[in-house]
Amino acid sequence: MYGIPMKNDHLIWHEESRREVYRSRVLSVRDTTCRSPAGTSGVFTIIDASDWAIVVPVIETERGKEFVMVRQWRHGSRELSLEFPGGVFEPGEDPLEAAARELREETAYAPNTIRKIGEFSPNPAIMANHVHIFLAEDLRPLDKQDLDDDEYVDVELVPVREVFLGLGRPPYVHALMGSAYCLYLQAAEATG
């Protein structure tokens, strides 16, 4: 019946053991042996990485609402990407503080208002981490970016509609941008 939670215990696998097979600066890979609901065992490969934040920074300009975005090189896709700022949490760091820090460091804007609008599993089939999405508003400019040694980032103001129309095509190639944009629309709808 619709609206009544159903038990899904018949779908749950139980981990029996795990073994790390690779570790790097940004992720580790493990094989995990799990028992199926039918009692058979299987080995599955899982990627462990830190949780990270994506920040959707909105600013009012003479052209209307715009996003503060960052353009940077992405080694995996071997292309430039225009995306919302973000980055990994430091160990023990509060997600809200991490989001505000990443926004400041990458864009040289600080939010007067920032709030979490959702969370996703980037690829729950093989990844154990989460991406936390934040909406940042009432931004104030800072003196300069505070980038890591290996970060080369240009900051751009992009009209909200332009981003919407560009999703799924270069330079808007980061898949989680679409997820963050949907949560932005959801938050905008909720506030009126």
The answer, yes or no, to whether residue 156 has pLDDT greater than 50, is yes
The whole-angstrom separation of Cα 161 and Cα 158 is 8
Q: Give the chain's mean pLDDT.
A: 94
What tokens appear for 111 in the block? 């939010």
Amino acid identity for residue 102 in this structure: E
* Distance set, CA 50 to CA 32, 41, 114, 146, 154 (Å): 18, 28, 21, 21, 24
| Residues 163 and 67: beta-carbon distance below 8 Å | yes
| Residues 55 and 151: beta-carbon distance below 8 Å | no
pLDDT tens for 54-84 read 999 999 999 999 999 999 999 999 999 999 9
Q: Which residues make beta-bridge pairs with 157?
A: 68
Domains and CATH numbers, the chain: 3-48 (no CATH), 50-190 (3.90.79.10)
